[in-house]
Structure 1
């Protein structure tokens, strides 16, 4: 279960798309035996991120809460919603009722539009929860990570820490952590295959890291 000093509910935000938020979600859900919720799913409805996390974890405590919006096209939510003739209304996206810890995964990065006027960052503010930022090393990732941090700080959104996913580039990670003064909660290597055992092994490592904070 989640340690006493760590928030019981938080949001996983990425510095962009295809960063690995769902893999990180699976690890943290397993580590904390937390519930999982993705408010907006765009495309892949038969193989959704919710189903991916469900298939990768081993514990029997976690519950999976239904998405507020399930959109048929693998596009930015505002574009997918337009195709489906749906308007994403932040007022009807409300936190699931649960007595368990809860991990919330955003659809894409913080500045991804949900409708013509509102972004993921607006949903984060509405939910009123801190975030964990998922970063991945690639050319431009320093810029994207620092912009994400600056955006959250400008909006007074607490950042619990950064998780690096994928191949390690020490100089990049060192600069990001030194410049932002945000703690690293852990690193996930480049895995050839994701299995329950792989997720469980990382979950054990993250549980220890989180307990130490």
Structure 2
């Protein structure tokens, strides 16, 4: 399984949609390394620190950010506030002998610079994308618009992971109108820890799910 997985990019339909915990879930389940290329806001060690702490990851499983800005605002503005212009050339995917989970910042249309959107960077990478969306009210519009933008750029969407309380209809509706599978659903976990994440991974048989998704892509 590990040798078959190239970089997977985790994107979100919005800010605070759960990308970091889903990224941690994928890092744990796929035995992958973690990289957040652009971090805005360094409180608590940023998302890299949160993933490391949640999973108790050794340092060699985490790739340092290309840019780590002080303020928790859009990357283009955070870069300007820090006086450190972001250069997209520095966002090249790092070499990795292990699977790599890449967590993006904010939503698809977030500016990384005044002339370069996050979705431009996704197109440059050309990697399969896992889109994280809220499970409940409001997700249909945000998620379908995000999928439409990804489709417009011919980007490869592996599927959706829904985060939040279960919803009776949204998963089927998103699959119907978005034409992508709902890979998994991460419910609220209390406590949120590595053991609970592992239980969910096993319960949803996600190792087999990802193996099948990747096999289908190779056919």
Whole-Å Cα distance in 2 between the matches of residues 45 and 123 of structure 1? Answer: 25
Aligned-residue RMSD, C-alpha: 1.8
**Could you tell me whether the CA contact under 8 Å between 2:75 and 2:111 is conserved in 1?**
yes
Residues 167 and 94 of structure 1, relative CA distance in 2, 3 Å threshold: same
Where does residue 110 of structure 2 map in the other structure? 112
Report the CA distance between 1:3 and its aligned residue.
6.8
Q: How many residue pairs were aligned?
A: 211
Q: Name which of 40, 43, 55 aligns with 1:42.
A: 40
Where does residue 177 of structure 1 map in the other structure? 175
SS of 1:182's partner is coil
Q: Report whether the alignment pairs 1:209 with 2:215.
A: no
Q: Name which of 14, 26, 29 aligns with 1:28.
A: 26
Whole-Å Cα distance in 1 between the matches of residues 207 and 58 of structure 2? Answer: 17
Whole-Å Cα distance in 1 between the matches of residues 60 and 183 of structure 2? Answer: 21
Report the CA distance between 1:138 and its aligned residue.
4.1
Residues 46 and 143 of structure 1, relative CA distance in 2, 3 Å threshold: same
**Could you tell me whether the CA contact under 8 Å between 1:45 and 1:70 is conserved in 2?**
no
Report the CA distance between 1:61 and its aligned residue.
10
Provide runs of 4+ in structure 1 moved above 4 Å.
58-62
Q: Report whether the alignment pairs 1:103 with 2:97.
A: no
Q: Report whether the alignment pairs 1:16 with 2:5.
A: no
Report the CA distance between 1:66 and its aligned residue.
0.6
Whole-Å Cα distance in 2 between the matches of residues 21 and 209 of structure 1? Answer: 19
5+ unaligned residues in a row in structure 2: which ranges?
Answer: 214-219
Where does residue 71 of structure 1 map in the other structure? 69
TM-score (norm 1): 0.92
SS of 2:73's partner is coil
Where does residue 80 of structure 2 map in the other structure? 82
Whole-Å Cα distance in 2 between the matches of residues 81 and 15 of structure 1? Answer: 22
Task: String of CA shifts for 1:112-134, please: whole Å, max 9, x gaps.
Answer: 11111111101111112110000
Where does residue 216 of structure 2 map in the other structure? none
**Could you tell me whether the CA contact under 8 Å between 2:44 and 2:50 is conserved in 1?**
no
Task: String of CA shifts for 1:136-171, please: whole Å, max 9, x gaps.
Answer: 034332111011111111101000010001012222
Whole-Å Cα distance in 2 between the matches of residues 116 and 40 of structure 1? Answer: 15
SS of 2:124's partner is helix
Whole-Å Cα distance in 2 between the matches of residues 201 and 115 of structure 1? Answer: 40
Where does residue 151 of structure 2 map in the other structure? 153
**Could you tell me whether the CA contact under 8 Å between 2:13 and 2:107 is conserved in 1?**
yes
Residues 166 and 107 of structure 1, relative CA distance in 2, 3 Å threshold: same
Whole-Å Cα distance in 2 between the matches of residues 60 and 108 of structure 1? Answer: 26
Residues 194 and 62 of structure 1, relative CA distance in 2, 3 Å threshold: farther
**Could you tell me whether the CA contact under 8 Å between 2:41 and 2:70 is conserved in 1?**
yes
Where does residue 140 of structure 1 map in the other structure? 138
